[in-house]
A and B are shown apart, each in its own frame.
Chain A
Amino acid sequence: MQSVVKSPGSQISVGLSPLRKFWQRFIGFLFPLETDTWLAVLRSGLGLQVIVYALFLRSDWYYLFASSGKGLVGREVGEAITAFDSPLIPTFGWLVALGRNLNMSEEAVLTVAWVALLSAGCLLLLGLFCRPAAIVAWFVHLCAAESGGLLAYGADAFMTTALFYLMLSPLPDRYSFDRWVTKAKPKNPQLLGFWRRVLQVHLCFVYFIGGLAKCLGNGWWDGSNLWRSLIRPPFTVVPPDVLVRFKYALPVLGISICLLEVSYPIFIWFKKTRFVWLVCILAMHAAIGLTMGLYLFALIMIIMNLAAFGVPCASRRAQATSGTTEQ
């Protein structure tokens, strides 16, 4: 129990005490002890995601990112919009200009970029050269997302974010070939905990904002938005005449999605509710992938959720087995 002494100095120390406690709790929250299992899930999952992304776009890669007159809309428009935001954002224009100095055609540069992306995905999946592979995957994907800015959709933003976090995380993890080959020491468990927290907090932002914005639309309360999204080409996987049979279920599903998303930042943290919320969110993304054909979007969200909350929190185990060194 603290006693209040009427000297100015001690008054300050009594005043600071709750602030310091809060700070310590905050630091404790940001740097929990963690093993690298979640990082292995993120690394291999993103490797798979990058491979699927590259293979899905294989036949249209050049058509989407070629310059004007050769492709769909020409990447110049997207790159000009990006350059208006900042000329420092990487685009394929950079690589094409570099290739020109090496006497490489635009087509050759774009092909090399595609091969580099696919290779980076394979290396990430295997856990070979983890850090360079993560950097290459992030950079080439960012170039693609920015050069085709007008053609990008939600999955691209999430891929960039996930690759950005992976690139900064303490790689390699124990399940990677890198660790097996180099016999490197395990990474600082607090640093592993920090990067997992970043991913967890980010997902809370994603679902809360997404859920809040949906709650503000009347169409999510009466099921009409679900109807519209499911019969909207090119998402039409379930025929409308089949869908209309479930018309009384659509309002319930719409409201459930709103509530599930907006309450995610609360219930995903409680041990008792985490499993239920995680399963529901994963099911929602699997359903989005299967019924709307948004496979890349579904896959990246499932990977991020599994890495953030799917792998059991290892604080106690890590505490028991770690030789933690503060950096």
Chain B
Amino acid sequence: MYSKRIHVAWFGIHFFLLTAVCLAGVFWLIAEGSTILPSAWDEYAGKGELGATWCLAKEAGPSNPVRRGIATYLHAAGIQAGYTFFAPNVPSQHRLTLELLYEDGRAEYESPHVRGKTAALRLESLLDRLSEERYEPVREVLVKMLAFSVWREHPGVKKVRATFGAVNPPGMNEFEQGKTETFQPMFSFDFSLRDDQKQ
């Protein structure tokens, strides 16, 4: 009976946390105004999201032991993010184009790449995250890393211009009319290699 009570308590805590994570995700989507719900709901959804994240102790300081404990458990159980994949709508694809500028004025165009298809899927996932506002603080660092991964294969390159943007695919009717995808630049960075990094 003692073991049963422990199991029931764990069940309650586990699914309470999962509920909070899932609700925070759904409320966030509504608060962002990206759903078909009336905009009057956005404010309430924002409050709902705050309530859900409060349950996860995310409002506490970063070094708060309860917050850290809950975060560790959520990651260990793989329930740190809700299940709102491809919802409410399928996001645009994103592309990072690297313009490699050589000393002789030559320019080549490349994109970061990996070998396997599974890893390619992960790279796409990374590029999609770059467009999100919450990753803004690490955006430049990540683009620099991606540019550097290509740079290593082209040692003669003097400068790299990285352009990041959204690729908007044509709709079904547009596709039938012969329209193709359009590229909407979002930001760009220029990188030049210092002499000490060249070695």
Which residue numbers of A lie inside 8 Å of B, CB to CB? 27, 30-31, 56-60, 63-64, 68-69, 71-74, 77, 81-82, 84-89, 142, 145-146, 148, 150-154, 156-164, 190-191, 194, 198, 201-202, 205-207, 209-210, 212-214, 216-220, 223-225, 227-229, 231-234, 240, 244, 247, 250, 293-296, 326-327
A85 to B135, CA, bound (A): 14
Count the A-B residue pairs with Cβ separation under 8 angstroms: how many?
209
A327 touches B3 (CB 8 A): yes
A244 to B1, CA, bound (A): 59
Chain B residues, Cβ within 8 Å of A60: 114-116, 118-119
A232 touches B149 (CB 8 A): no
14 further A-B pairs in the complex, CB-CB below 8 A; given A77-B141, A218-B36, A240-B175: A30-B8, A64-B122, A72-B114, A84-B62, A85-B75, A89-B72, A160-B78, A164-B76, A190-B4, A205-B22, A209-B22, A209-B25, A219-B88, A296-B118
B98-134 contact mask (Cβ, 8 Å, vs A): 1 or 0? 0000000000000010111111111111100100000
- Say whether B82 faces chain A, with CB atoms less than 8 Å apart: yes
Determine chain A's interface SS by DSSP, over half rule.
helix
Residue of B nearest to A227 (CB): B172
A223 to B175, CA, bound (A): 14
Q: How many residues of B contact A (CB 8 A)?
A: 71
B1-26 contact mask (Cβ, 8 Å, vs A): 1 or 0? 11110011001001100110010011
Which residue numbers of B lie inside 8 Å of A, CB to CB? 1-4, 7-8, 11, 14-15, 18-19, 22, 25-26, 29-30, 34-37, 62, 67-69, 71-72, 75-90, 93, 112, 114-126, 129, 135, 138, 141-142, 145-146, 148-149, 169, 171-172, 175-176
